[in-house]
Each structure stands twice: as C-alpha cells, then as structure tokens.
Amino acid sequence: MKKLTFSLVITFSVILLSTNIFAQDATVVDPEHYKVEFENDKVRVLRIAYAPGDKSVMHSHPEGVAVFLTDGTIRFTLPDETTQDIKVEAGQVIWSPESTHQPENTGKELFEVIQIEMKNNDE
C-alpha cells in the first residue's frame, strides 16, 4: 500500500510540475521579447518583438486580441511538440484563444505585435 501511495504522489507531482512549466507568464520567463505597455484589472497590453531567428521559451497567454505591427512568419511549437507555421500581415487583427506555445521568428525581418490579454474578471 505504501508503494502505491508513493507512486501516486510521484505521478501526481510530475503532472502538476509539467502543468506549471507550461503555464509560464511570458513577461517573466522572456522579458527580452515581452514588455508590458499597459495593465489594469481588466487587461494587460504587451509589446512583443522578435528579431529574425529569435526564439522564446514555452509560455502561456490568456485569451485576447493580437494586432500585428509588421509582416511576419512565425513558428509556434506546442506543448506536445507539434509545430504550426503562420504568416501574418501588418495591420491584421485576430482573436487569440488561451494558448501555450514557444514562438520563433522564422522570417527575415523584425516581427512586432501588440497582444491585448483579457484578465479573468469573474467576481
């Protein structure tokens, strides 16, 4: 019984630690690329900039809106290690669901975006 309990505790701890690894705040784990431009109790506005070839670490964002300031090609690596390549145009605006990813600028120019993150305001 002790072995089973110990195994369950270890398994559960690994799951919790993996969840915490992926649920990282971009501004904390990658301040080189993510700057807070504005924040209040409703939203947080980030300025995100990647030079060509720059790659971030795995991090998360709540749902929100992305406003692309430049054209760009970005590769997102997801927690399951699959990748998604996207091409965006300056001026494009998209709704962004809650996500965990590791972005990389695969383009040849500076990539910039404003990310407006919604805060959970359930009170």
Per-residue pLDDT of the chain (123 residues; tens, 9 = 90+): 666 444 434 433 333 344 444 569 999 999 999 999 999 999 999 999 999 999 999 999 999 999 999 999 999 999 999 999 999 999 999 999 999 999 999 999 999 999 999 998 665
Enclosing H/E stretch for 12: helix 2-22
Predicted confidence at residue 1, as pLDDT, reads 61
Domains of the chain listed by start with CATH number = 2-118 (2.60.120.10)
Measured CA to CA in angstroms, residue 80 lies from 14, 25, 54, 84, 117 at distances of 16, 19, 21, 12, 23
Alpha-carbon distance of 55 to 74, in angstroms, equals 10
Predicted confidence at residue 66, as pLDDT, reads 98
Encoded tokens for 81: 């290690």
Predicted confidence at residue 19, as pLDDT, reads 42
Predicted confidence at residue 122, as pLDDT, reads 63
Predicted confidence at residue 90, as pLDDT, reads 99
Predicted confidence at residue 64, as pLDDT, reads 97
Predicted confidence at residue 107, as pLDDT, reads 98
Contact between 68 and 88 (Cβ < 8 Å):
yes
Predicted confidence at residue 85, as pLDDT, reads 98
Predicted confidence at residue 39, as pLDDT, reads 97
